[in-house]
Structure 1
Amino acid sequence: MNKKSIIISTDPGIDDAVALALALFSEELEVKLICPTFGNVGLAYTKANTEKLLTLYQKKPRVVLGSQTPLVRERIDASEIHGASGMDGYDFPEPRIFAETAQTAVAAMHEVVSQAAEQTILVGIGPLTDIALFLHLYPQDLPKIERIVVMGGSLGRGNSGVLSEFNFAADPEAAKMVFDSGVPIQVAPLEVGDQAKIMPATSEKIKGFGEIGEMIYRLFTHYRSGSFLEGLSMYDALAIALIVKPEIFSLVVTRVEIETVASLTYGASLIDLENFLGLPANAEVAINVDANQFEEWFIDSLAKTV
């Protein structure tokens, strides 16, 4: 079986830690490059968290540092959800894998995509700053991108502003550049992550999956997106599921516009399901996920980490 080549832009983050495990241990994916970026916490933390995770996972994909700040707006974070370090709750071993700093993430993305024999999938599970810069600076690479898969945006209300979801709100201008790029895009918005809840019984199963399972369980006890007792919302894992398990989603081809005017709706994603805007579709948006099938895939995938 030919594996799909992917590049992951990420801001670990508890749910990013899980998404990275799902991708790195997948039999269907080959992670060519990981680019830590600012987001849930600052770049120094997301860099350290990526290095700690890869050391624990005993995986050695190339890691190149991404952006420290958004393109235009002031940096925001989500430390109230993920803890001050982004991954509070587990005592990680000393990292033995270190991110490259002599090159930018954008240049590294260009190297990987341009030199690959097959098309590459870009996965954005944090702010889209580096993906936007890559698309802008290397338009000659666009035909070699199979698609961009992102967790971001919302069908209705937000979790960062009244109408804005965090990943897009963290860099609205970058999100707009991505959706205006003409590259095929798949989106897992906020509400679908709220459908894909991990319940206590599932967390207990994961706890039994060796050291990695214990780590994920401990992080879950500190995760503040949902409730450990009533169900934790899994957001970033959806981006991996969209690639390897697309049949569990209901997808709609539609227009996504990002609000970049500095107003009360700054960073909002307008997912035009009713075609009010009358604009050509630019994305395939998940509007539902089969929660039972997601949970089954989630458990089976993490069981491969043992």
Structure 2
Amino acid sequence: MPAIIDTDPGIDDAIAILYALRHPDLDIAAMTTVAGNIGLSVTTANALKIATLADVHAPVHAGAPAPLGRDPRPELGIHGNDGLGGVTFPDPATRPASEDAVGYLISILNQADPQTIDLFCLAPLTNIAQLITRAPDTAKRIRRIIAMGGAVDEPGNMGRGEFNLAHDPEAAAIVLHAGLDLTLIPLDATRQFRADAAYLHTLRATGKPPAVASADLIDAYFVQTEHQAKGSESRPLHDPCVPLYALHPDLFRIETRHLQVDHDGALIAGPHPIRVAMGVDADALRARLCEGLAC
């Protein structure tokens, strides 16, 4: 299943990337980076570090340094100044393959047969919106887009919206209103998918570097503030839901909702039929995530 990951690592991005890079049923052709959880230089370096730890060659192409017509609004309180919650990763084994993520996407999509490449979107949708705007016919060659973002019936985590969509509402509207094959995994689903201390023990017991690193990342995801005790469960594991859905769609409850993106990045009633995940089998997803990270 050839795919490209568009990402802004980010703790939960890192877990999703480790899972996708190591899973034998996924072929990650490359990663494209964008400013989101943290600035572009850090997200790009983090993507390279994650690929190095996974011991998988996945070229990284740096993309948009800011939203469309807005200033970046990084989320340092959750992900830390390094984007990875202070978890140590190896130095990158390679340098970025380019600083033109959109140009790379246009090139690879035009070279491949139509509808053979998926996009796994873990970040604000700035790169994908620029692709659609610059090369709309090329964008139609995408097999499908699976994107983490939005809040349908759930309250948002960035004002009325969810971070990925609210960080760049204009880009989100371009992508979600483009009529492409798109499945959105919003907070309604991801808030059902968390980890506890026993799960971290299970990951570490595998002895596999991607699983151990993911346990460390999730452990950092427990802490609300440096002065507050850890809770019994982690924050939601948002981004791993994207590659998990690609491989295990039966573990997600999918509905079609007629929605649109407003100027704040909130999902409201509208004319666009969008396939959204509204529920998950959390126990089964945790098992599949552990299996993939231990590959």
Deviation at 1:95, TM superposition (A): 1.4
CA distance in 2: counterparts of 1:165 and 1:42, whole angstroms:
18
One-letter amino acid of the counterpart of residue 287, structure 1:
M
Q: Is the contact between residue 132 and residue 175 of structure 2 (CA under 8 Å) also seen in structure 1?
A: yes
SS of 2:139's equivalent in the other structure is helix
Return closer, same or farther for 1:222/1:54 CA change in 2, 3 Å cut-off: same
Query: Is 2:67 aligned against 1:64?
Result: no
Q: Is the contact between residue 44 and residue 96 of structure 2 (CA under 8 Å) also seen in structure 1?
A: yes
CA distance in 1: counterparts of 2:287 and 2:216, whole angstroms:
20
Query: Is 2:95 aligned against 1:106?
Result: no
> Equivalent residue for 2:288?
297
Gaps of 5+ in 1: 261-265
CA distance in 1: counterparts of 2:65 and 2:253, whole angstroms:
35
Gaps of 5+ in 2: 225-229
Which aligned runs of 4 or more in structure 1 are off by greater than 6 angstroms? none
> Equivalent residue for 2:278?
287
One-letter amino acid of the counterpart of residue 78, structure 2:
I
CA distance in 1: counterparts of 2:96 and 2:191, whole angstroms:
32
One-letter amino acid of the counterpart of residue 258, structure 2:
R
CA distance in 1: counterparts of 2:223 and 2:254, whole angstroms:
24
Q: Is the contact between residue 89 and residue 221 of structure 1 (CA under 8 Å) also seen in structure 2?
A: no
Q: TM-score, normalised by structure 1?
A: 0.89
One-letter amino acid of the counterpart of residue 268, structure 1:
A
Q: Is the contact between residue 200 and residue 228 of structure 1 (CA under 8 Å) also seen in structure 2?
A: no
SS of 2:254's equivalent in the other structure is strand
Query: Is 2:172 aligned against 1:175?
Result: yes
- Given candidates 25, 32, 47, the residue that maps to 1:50 is 47
- Coordinate RMSD, CA, aligned: 1.6
CA distance in 1: counterparts of 2:218 and 2:183, whole angstroms:
27
One-letter amino acid of the counterpart of residue 113, structure 2:
A
Q: Is the contact between residue 199 and residue 232 of structure 1 (CA under 8 Å) also seen in structure 2?
A: no
SS of 1:197's equivalent in the other structure is coil
Question: What does the per-residue CA deviation read over 1:253-305, in whole Å, with 9 as the maximum and x for residues that have no partner?
Answer: 12231111xxxxx12122x4xxxx4x251x2100000111111111111111x
Question: What does the per-residue CA deviation read over 1:72-119, in whole Å, with 9 as the maximum and x for residues that have no partner?
Answer: 222101111111110133222221122123x41001001111111352
> Equivalent residue for 1:12?
9
CA distance in 2: counterparts of 1:269 and 1:225, whole angstroms:
29
Q: What is the aligned length?
A: 287
Q: Is the contact between residue 56 and residue 93 of structure 1 (CA under 8 Å) also seen in structure 2?
A: yes
Question: What does the per-residue CA deviation read over 1:126-176, in whole Å, with 9 as the maximum and x for residues that have no partner?
Answer: 000000100111112133211111000002311111x11000011000000
> Equivalent residue for 2:233?
230
Question: Matches of residues 67-216 of structure 1 in structure 2 within 5 Å?
Answer: 67-101=64-98, 103-117=99-113, 119=115, 120-155=117-152, 156-161=154-159, 163-209=160-206, 210-216=208-214
CA distance in 2: counterparts of 1:48 and 1:76, whole angstroms:
19
Return closer, same or farther for 1:177/1:97 CA change in 2, 3 Å cut-off: same
Question: What does the per-residue CA deviation read over 1:233-255, in whole Å, with 9 as the maximum and x for residues that have no partner?
Answer: 11001111121100011101122
Q: Is the contact between residue 257 and residue 269 of structure 1 (CA under 8 Å) also seen in structure 2?
A: yes
Q: TM-score, normalised by structure 2?
A: 0.92
**Greater displacement, 135-144 / 181-190:** 135-144
Query: Is 2:32 aligned against 1:35?
Result: yes
CA distance in 2: counterparts of 1:224 and 1:258, whole angstroms:
30
Q: Is the contact between residue 169 and residue 262 of structure 2 (CA under 8 Å) also seen in structure 1?
A: yes
Q: Is the contact between residue 82 and residue 224 of structure 1 (CA under 8 Å) also seen in structure 2?
A: no
Question: What does the per-residue CA deviation read over 1:1-20, in whole Å, with 9 as the maximum and x for residues that have no partner?
Answer: xxx11111100011000100
SS of 1:40's equivalent in the other structure is coil
SS of 2:259's equivalent in the other structure is strand
> Equivalent residue for 1:263?
none
CA distance in 1: counterparts of 2:292 and 2:19, whole angstroms:
6
> Equivalent residue for 2:257?
254
Deviation at 1:22, TM superposition (A): 1.3
